[in-house]
Structure 1
Amino acid sequence: MDVTLLYFDDCPNWKIADQRLAAAAADRADITVTRCRVETIEEAERVGFHGSPSILVDGVDAFAEPGAGVGLSCRVYRTPDGLAGAPTVEQLRAALGVAPEGER
């Protein structure tokens, strides 16, 4: 499985997402995580960048919401604890098809 973390440098949340993604994928040798910095509006439009951080699983935005805009902006995620700048580890595990912590 190919996972891509899309981000831009000024985003304060991409490193948190990167850490959580590493934790979620740690037990799966078949998951390859790539980081891709998006630098221009043109590039954001080309890759369908819905804000930083964005997580693509096999090329598909795992957390896309209908009508989400494209551009160089920070992204907000709905989590069990409210809105946050990155998905939780459990949300990432679910998106990657990784069993929850207590079931491994």
Structure 2
Amino acid sequence: MPSSPPHPQVAVNTTIPDVNLFLDHIVASTNMKCLTPPRALEGDCGYLAANLYARSVFGEDALVNVSVEKTAEGKLAGYIRIRSKTQGIALSLGDKITLKQRGDS
């Protein structure tokens, strides 16, 4: 059985100070839909895990898993894992997230 290529993974690198604000920014920047129910994202516990979904104009699906926590220093740390049957879509989405995640733009 051939091994599948690793899924692109983007390290969180942002100036956004809050996990929920960071998720909102990623959702808005990527035009993805958050599959995680809003009720599961309520509260302020310092960490967050959410699943996002999008379909490209070519009909290809992409699933993004956001896992982020607030460190003792007050910065956010974590990873964003991207899954797609098409590696090109996953890599393109990874590049977009890398550029947009800082929150400056």
**Category of TM-score, reference length = shorter chain:** 0.3 to 0.5
Rg larger in 1 or in 2? 2
Which has a greater percent of strand?
2
Structure 2 length-normalised TM:
0.32
Structure 1 length-normalised TM:
0.32
